[in-house]
Amino acid sequence: MQNKTSILIIYTGGTIGMIQDPKTGILKPLAFDNIYRYLPVLENFDYNFEFYTFDPLLDSSNMHPSFWVELATLIEKNYELFDGFVVLHGSDTMAYTASALSFMLENLNKPVIFTGSQLPIGKVRTDGRENLINSIEIAAAKVEDTPLVPEVAICFENKLFRGNRTTKLNAEHFNAFLSGSYPPLAEVGVYIRYHENLIMKPNFRKLKVHKILDEKIAILKLFPGIRENVVNSILNIKGLKAVILETFGAGNAPTVAWFLSALHAASQRGIIIFNVTQCKGGAVDIGKYETSAELGKLGVIGGSDITTESAVTKLMYLLGSGFPKEEVEQLLQTSLRGEITVG
């Protein structure tokens, strides 16, 4: 007899795992021993479930790279024991964590599906039930004993997105996430419709987990009227190795002399400058307009259609891996986990 599909559900913290105390009205974490009380439908799945709850739980606003290492290590330890993983996570920084895990889990051949909710699972109208049920079914999905979605993804409001392509878009609506430059991997209706041509294929190589992340980066978001002292204060942070430059449109930035001089000086000091668009869709195209051509002359690296969340975590991963500056710059322009469109 074939073994049952096994799923590890990991609760890191966040709204989805909260219930309201009937006496005080205060939200408190759900003990997963009681999960079937709130989600009796889980008993209809012919799967083996195990649950792991981080202690202490972490509000997603307090998310930190050290926690990403803990999460990646947990998945590594249980990788051979389970067919898929569902990670319950606060929505505010979910896109960062999903992006980070996509880079840290090299040669991933099993689903790691992130989900959460806008309303606690104990609320009558919670979106958490649907999100969790969909995530479990996707994490368990196989074709000829091969996982259908062998990558890190986010399942929210009836859509499955590649994790490192997402951004949180809305704090109120159930459709909280956007993947502006890459279509959904799957859409949930009466059936789950998988877009298999968009999903990464398994490579069947041994999982390799990267646990060193270098946080010596900063984000410089441009805005009309940004002052010279603001730019210089960021570019001259002690120990800084890389800056994500959030530019306008297709990668455009001011052409005033002091701004270009500041970028040039930073580049000369060995700081990597990674040009990422502020737009929720579209891509950086250095040289398309005169206002971006100057950046290219200074050695600024174009980020194509990468999200800021993915840019942050990709840089941490690459810098932590100890690659020389030239190789980091080359890899930033290479699709490692499907995070950018190349060519």
Catalytic entry in 12, 15, 93, 115: 15
Q: What letter represents residue 94's amino acid?
A: M
4: region left, alpha or beta (phi > 0 left; psi from -120 to 50 alpha): beta
Tokens (6 digits) for 207: 């999982």
DSSP, res 278: S
Nearest of 94, 106, 216 to residue 166 by alpha carbon:
94
Whether the bond between 224 and the residue before it is cis, its omega within 30 degrees of 0, is no
- Strand runs labelled E in the chain: 5-11, 18-20, 27-29, 47-53, 84-88, 105-106, 112-115, 142-143, 146-147, 152-156, 159-162, 167-168, 177-178, 186-188, 192-194, 208-209, 217-221, 242-247, 272-277, 301-302
Q: Which residues pair with 274 in a beta bridge?
A: 244, 301
Rounded to a whole number of angstroms, the distance between the first and last alpha carbons of the chain is 48
* Nearest one of 211, 232, 256, 228 to 101, comparing CA atoms: 211
Q: How far apart are CA 90 and CA 117, in angstroms?
A: 8
Instruction: Please state, in angstroms and rounded to a whole number, the distance separating the CA atoms of residues 244 and 81.
Output: 38
| Maximal CA-CA distance, the chain | 72
Answer positive or negative: Cα dihedral of 150, 313, 180, 8.
positive
Active site residue 146: no
In this structure, are strands 18-20 and 27-29 parallel, antiparallel, or unpaired?
Answer: antiparallel
- Residues serving a catalytic function are 15
